């Protein structure tokens, strides 16, 4: 939605008022040197000197402090053009920043970026400033470096984003996300792997999930999941899908993507033990959203999950049971699960030897199979002596009652 010119001007005036201290500094500095600020160095919002110029999605440049206030106050448009911003990333304008600093030095104007209004611990501020400087430096390498330099920069951003919510926020604010999304298409296996892993790490910070999807990452991440150049890239793409699908709206959009569920099933078949677990957790997250259940079933998930229950090396018994239990919630899922001749004995074994979560999901599946025309399943349970010892356990009295009736 594009704001009216009156609303835009009112919002910009509010930001000008909150930037008074910065403006006073500029006036003081320029009054001493009697040098007017060139128009191209002025922020379009405050008309003050841009100490930290950044580019928004529309291509216009603003001072970081003023455009951040604009965005944080709920605006999603470019103040200068009124154009809706397709993402909120702020990309450092290194060329202009260099020119501003050069002009300041030539005119004896102090180069002061963001004066802190907080009296918080100085060590923390120094550390955050160091992360910001590092992130901006690395983003510059992503933007303009050779493939070798991009590979190293993506790797270092991957490590920097591995720990700390502040790090993840600062890296996103430095404008890394759009460049990392572009690098997902790289023909260099290591660049692709580092880029998708950096995005996975960044996505742990909730606001970054929105920025990643807004930057058009979803198609690229699913392509990496389906046919990434390394198995680690595919596995981390699956983990990224799990992270992004925590947001309900993204569950819908990912589930509706024609390649997403088949690609996850492909990783369930071909991945390492860790990769199978990543794929299973992502698939479970999608399957809890009701409109996705039929999609998962039609893609062939049920027989594959049952096969994985019989594969001790897969190591995803609990995850597979959780997905199957979720798929009971749609008619197609129930029909597919009932077709299996090996599932009931497997579930009975898991009632005896499975984990607490596995036993819970096994009971859920058995109950679901016995309902609405599941007499054959109930009969097979009754004639299987291994199911009887559980008749006395809480939640399993239905077996006991059925046994007595038999």
Over residues 78-114, the pLDDT tens digits come to 999 988 887 677 777 888 888 898 888 888 887 665 4
Q: What pLDDT does 6 receive?
A: 54
Q: What pLDDT, in 10s, does the model give residues 296-349?
A: 999 999 999 999 998 888 889 999 999 999 999 999 999 999 888 889 888 988
What angle do the packed helices 206-214 and 189-202 form, to 10 degrees? 130
- Tell me which of 53-62, 109-118, 332-341, 385-394 is least confident: 385-394
Distances (CA, A) of 156 to 162, 176, 192, 341: 10, 12, 13, 51
Angstrom CA distances, 120 to 127, 168, 223, stand at 12, 20, 44
CATH class name, domain 5-106: alpha beta
pLDDT confidence of residue 260: 97
Structural contact between residues 171 and 142, judged by C-beta atoms closer than 8 angstroms: no
Phi and psi of 296, rounded to 5°? Answer: -65, -40
Interval 228-248: pLDDT, tens: 999 999 999 999 999 999 999
Please give the model's pTM, rounded to 2 decimal places: 0.67
**Half-sphere exposure of residue 209: CA atoms within 13 angstroms, side-chain side:** 16
53-55, strands of its sheet edge to edge: 61-63, 53-55, 91-92
């Amino acid at each position: 939605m594009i704001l009216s010119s009156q609303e835009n001007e009112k919002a910009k005036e509010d930001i000008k008022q909150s930037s008074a201290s910065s403006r006073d500094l500029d006036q003081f500095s320029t009054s001493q040197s009697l040098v007017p600020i060139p128009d191209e160095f002025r922020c379009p919002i405050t008309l003050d000197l841009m100490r930290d110029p950044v580019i928004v999605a529309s291509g216009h440049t603003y001072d970081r402090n003023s455009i951040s206030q604009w965005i944080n106050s709920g605006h999603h448009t470019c103040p200068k053009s009124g154009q809706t911003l397709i993402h909120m990333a702020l990309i450092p304008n290194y060329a202009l920043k260099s020119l501003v600093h050069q002009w300041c030095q030539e005119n004896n104007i102090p180069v002061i970026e963001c004066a802190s209004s907080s009296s918080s611990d100085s060590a923390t501020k120094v550390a955050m400033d160091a992360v910001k400087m590092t992130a901006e430096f690395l983003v510059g390498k992503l933007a303009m470096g050779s493939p070798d330099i991009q590979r190293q920069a993506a790797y270092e951003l991957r490590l920097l984003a591995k720990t700390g919510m502040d790090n993840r926020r600062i890296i996103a604010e430095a404008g890394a996300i759009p460049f990392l999304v572009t690098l997902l298409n790289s023909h260099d296996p290591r660049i692709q792997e580092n880029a998708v892993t950096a995005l996975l790490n960044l996505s742990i910070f909730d606001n970054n999930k929105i920025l990643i999807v807004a930057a058009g990452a979803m198609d690229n991440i699913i392509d990496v999941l389906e046919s990434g150049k390394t198995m680690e890239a595919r596995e981390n793409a699956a983990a990224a899908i799990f992270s992004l699908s925590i947001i309900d709206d993204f569950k819908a959009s990912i589930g509706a993507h024609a390649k997403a569920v088949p690609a996850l099933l492909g990783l369930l078949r071909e991945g390492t033990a860790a990769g199978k677990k990543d794929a299973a957790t992502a698939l479970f997250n999608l399957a809890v959203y009701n409109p996705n259940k039929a999609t998962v079933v039609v893609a062939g998930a049920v027989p594959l999950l049952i096969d994985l229950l019989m594969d001790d090396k897969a190591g995803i018994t609990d995850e597979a049971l959780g997905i199957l239990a979720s798929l009971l919630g749609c008619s197609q899922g129930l029909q597919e699960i009932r077709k299996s001749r090996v599932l009931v004995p497997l579930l009975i074994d898991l009632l005896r030897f499975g984990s607490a979560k596995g036993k819970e999901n096994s009971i859920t599946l058995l109950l679901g199979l016995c309902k609405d025309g599941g007499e054959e399943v109930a009969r097979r349970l009754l004639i299987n002596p291994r199911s009887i010892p559980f008749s006395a356990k809480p939640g399993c009295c239905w077996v006991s009652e059925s046994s007595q009736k038999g």
